[in-house]
Structure 1
C-alpha cells in the first residue's frame, strides 16, 4: 500500500466506518462512538486508516461477549488524532 494522505473530515470518516460494519443478527453488541473534542479535519491516508480501524473494530466485535459494549473513541489535539477501540 502506498501512503496517500488527503484532507479528511475525522468525525464523518469514523461514522462512515461504523456504517460499513456488517450487522450479524446472531451477535448482539453495542458500539458507542465517543468524541472528546471537535476534531474537524486532518491529513490522513483514508485507505490505510480504514483498514486498520476496520480490523480493530471487527476484532472487538468478534471477541466481545453477546450483548457486549464496544467504545470507539477519537480525541484530537492541534497536532494529533488519537483513535481508541475498547472492548470487553
Structure 2
C-alpha cells in the first residue's frame, strides 16, 4: 500500500472529507486529492500533521511515506535491488 492509498483509507474509515484535511494542512482540496492519488508528494511536515489528524501511528505512516519516496527515486533503475541491499547493509551498521 502506498502513502496516498493509506491516508485515503484512514480518512474514509473516519468519515472525514478531503476538504477537512486539506484545510488543516493549509492546502487546497485539489492538492490534497493529488496527494491521495499519488500525483503529488506530501511534505514531511504534512505527514506528521496527517498522523495526528488521522489518529494513526506516526512511525508507521512515516515508513510508508519514506518507502514511496525511495520507490519514486529508484523504480526505473536497473540496479535498484542491488542498491537497496547495499542500503540495508549500511543501515544495520548504524
Q: Same fold (TM over 0.5)?
A: no
Structure with higher RCO (Cα < 8 A, 6+ apart): 1
Specify the structure having the higher radius of gyration (Cα). 2
Q: Which is helix-richer, 1 or 2?
A: 2
TM range (shorter): under 0.3
TM-score (normalised: structure 2) = 0.26
